[in-house]
Amino acid sequence: MIRIVVAEDMHMIRTAMAALIETEEGMEVVGEADRGDVVLDLVRRTRPDLVLLDLDMPGADGLTVLAQLTAETPRPRVVILTAVGRPAAVRTALTAGVDGFILKSAPAAELLDGLRAVASGRRVLAPDLAAAAVVNGDSPLTAREADVLALVGKGAAVPDIAAALHLSEGTVRNYLTGVVDKLDARSRTDAVRIAESNGWI
């Protein structure tokens, strides 16, 4: 019997996944969590074989919870479930030792097959996620460029960014011009979109 904890903050999705898993022979849901910061205690109480973990949850995100779970003994296998596979998050999770990464848009059969595969010791990664993680690579932005662009993404104007980062307004504009060119973006807004979609800011 594969004992599974389902950690997903959206009630409808969590209960639907748990119900789906419960219909499968050889699988049992031993716990459910709607917040990342309660997963570790739940795992310690229920001792599952596998944790199906949402990447974006309140309390603690999936990558934080993954780091906690990989330090546990015995260590449960972990499959991260996500609606949007950000390449940087995929690479971080793989480096941290995740056992599987499945998109929420995957068919039910793919999810169940993935859980069985991970429980048997194999690593499962949706092909689209693997390709994106390789193609997009590491961030081309410097730490300062990422700081500046992140503030643009929050709606900050050049004077505000300059004050927050202790830079001159001219320096901020130079950073932004460089970032737009580096990301081959059409505008600052487009640069923010590109960087956010790749997990660079």
Q: What is the pLDDT of residue 137?
A: 57
Mean pLDDT confidence for 67-81: 92
Token pair recorded at residue 19: 């119900």
Instruction: Indicate the pLDDT class of residue 136, thresholds 50, 70 and 90.
Output: low
Q: What is the pLDDT of residue 156?
A: 93
Does the pLDDT at position 89 exceed 90? no
Q: What is the pLDDT of residue 168?
A: 94
CA dist 51 and 19 (Å) reads 15
- Tokens 């993404």 belong to 153
Mean pLDDT confidence for 61-81: 91
Q: What is the pLDDT of residue 21?
A: 96
Q: Go through the domains of the chain in sequence order and give each one's CATH number.
A: 2-136 (3.40.50.2300), 143-197 (1.10.10.10)
Q: Are 136 and 172 in contact (CB under 8 A)?
A: no
Q: What is the pLDDT of residue 22?
A: 95
Residue count (the chain): 201
Mean pLDDT confidence for 62-86: 87
Q: What is the pLDDT of residue 113?
A: 94
Q: What is the pLDDT of residue 114?
A: 93
Mean of per-residue pLDDT scores for the chain: 88
Could you list the beta-strand ranges (E) of the chain. Answer: 2-7, 27-33, 50-54, 77-82, 100-103, 124-125
Token pair recorded at residue 59: 């309390």
Q: What is the pLDDT of residue 201?
A: 80
Does the pLDDT at position 163 exceed 90? yes
Q: Which residue has the higher pLDDT, 176 or 85?
A: 176
Does the pLDDT at position 60 exceed 80? yes
Mean pLDDT confidence for 138-147: 84
Mean pLDDT confidence for 4-23: 95
